Amino acid sequence: MNINMKLPKYSIGVGDRFAHQAEAQLRACVLAADAGVDVIPVWNKSNREHLIIGSEPSSTRRAADAAVRALGWKRPYFVDADHINLKSYERFLGPCDFFTIDVADKIGQKSDPMQIKDFLDRHPELMGDLAIPRIAEPFQIDRAFAEKTAAQYLAAVQHAGEIYRALVREKGEGNFVAEISMDETDRPQTPPELLIILAAISDEQIPIQTIAPKFTGRFNKGVDYVGDVPQFAKEFRDDLATICYAIERYDLPDNLKLSVHSGSDKFSIYPALKAGMMEFDAGVHLKTGGTTWLEELIGLAEAGDHGLALAKEVYADAFAHADELCAPYATVIDIRPAELPSPGAVDEWRSEQFVSALRHEEGNSSYNPHFRQLLHVGFKVAAKMGARYTDALEQHAEVIGRNVTENLFERHIRPVFLA
């Protein structure tokens, strides 16, 4: 399959809600390069985020280009139209060169029985005892399982094909990176299902360079993984083996890799990512999102005075509108209201108290994941403040930037990508 624009082996998706931290984020990639490892930045922002903030995709592109110029970054970088679909892709066409085609909505949608039959007839190799190199137990896929899986995913993959072809008409073939995401759904995809999905993607001739399945466990926004870590490690490893196999068998791009839509901060599975990447000499795309926005609040709180006051104001307003702010993210947050401090109590906090409640340090007894999750989804409050918020970002750019860089490099890039 024809691709001119290739996503390198290691890449990190960074979110920059207010388009003020691109340079601080890129600095983390510079630190990685200085340490001898190329980790390519991909600035991602979904349509949902743009709508909540009232921003345009072109602002993400401008901020990325400016950061690249300012730091003299000579390696590749990308701007990702995150979770787009047929209704939302158009505004991303100009500014973006990476498209995360989201078809989670179409999972389980009925396909034409004839098309399912055609798919199964086309792929007799999928059925039987399928030995995948480096997976101990062969996949046992009978026709009933393949049919059930096709019924579940074929319509979604065909829809991805439709979106992909629309993008090709506008951008030209090979001129962008394509990802397919299926993470925002209820049920994880197992490695045998992933194989069937990849066969279908190959049939649609979508030269995906990354795929984001839903993994086992909970990937709540901004907080650590909740689930069975050894089980995750096994599935992640088997997914890597499945992808290696599928690249050859189905002529998919040789740099195809997993995209981990982490929702930020899945620290307890990072060793499993690292171990799998080492074993298979595999790349990964680690997509983070709101972790940078939380570092803005941490930086403001650290700055004290009116920075701290502004951070407290964001919390008070988020607390007052918690239901509305949480609704769009209901499936990816677990907030116990009883664990949220009252705005009155927070008002009394000193800088250190606010920072240690918010900063994601599991060992710190003051760290409060409920407080953190509410603020994670509370960026609409800051968006409503408009210039009052972004002026504060500029005024405290140094302390905020230091937090943004250190967070990305020390907590994310170092454990996943560095030796």
Q: Residue numbers of the site for Zn ion (CB under 5 A)?
A: 183, 261
Kindly tell me which of 95 and 213 has the beta carbon lying closer to Zn ion: 213
Half-sphere exposure of 24 toward its Cβ, with a 13 Å CA cutoff?
27
Candidates 161, 173, 247; CA nearest to 203 is: 161
Kindly tell me which of 78 and 371 has the beta carbon lying closer to Zn ion: 78
Are the beta carbons of 397 and 308 closer than 8 angstroms? no
SS3 category, 91: helix
Kindly tell me which of 264 and 403 has the beta carbon lying closer to Zn ion: 264
Candidates 59, 61, 63, 101; CA nearest to 82 is: 101
| Interatomic CA distance for residues 337 and 328, integer angstroms | 17
Are the beta carbons of 286 and 215 closer than 8 angstroms? no
In angstroms, what is the minimal distance from the CB of 181 to Zn ion?
Answer: 5
In angstroms, what is the minimal distance from the CB of 184 to Zn ion?
Answer: 6
SS3 category, 27: helix
Kindly tell me which of 220 and 405 has the beta carbon lying closer to Zn ion: 220
Kindly tell me which of 73 and 215 has the beta carbon lying closer to Zn ion: 215
| Interatomic CA distance for residues 65 and 26, integer angstroms | 11
Residue nearest to Zn ion (CB): 261
**Which residues, in sequence order, are bridge partners of residue 44?**
80
In angstroms, what is the minimal distance from the CB of 191 to Zn ion?
Answer: 19
Kindly tell me which of 184 and 406 has the beta carbon lying closer to Zn ion: 184
Residue 379 DSSP class:
H
Q: Which two tokens stand for residue 315?
A: 């919390």
Which residues, 6+ apart, have CB-to-CB distance to 248 below 8 Å?
A: none
In angstroms, what is the minimal distance from the CB of 261 to Zn ion?
Answer: 3
| Interatomic CA distance for residues 137 and 133, integer angstroms | 10
Are the beta carbons of 22 and 67 closer than 8 angstroms? yes
In angstroms, what is the minimal distance from the CB of 238 to Zn ion?
Answer: 21
Kindly tell me which of 152 and 262 has the beta carbon lying closer to Zn ion: 262
In angstroms, what is the minimal distance from the CB of 219 to Zn ion?
Answer: 8
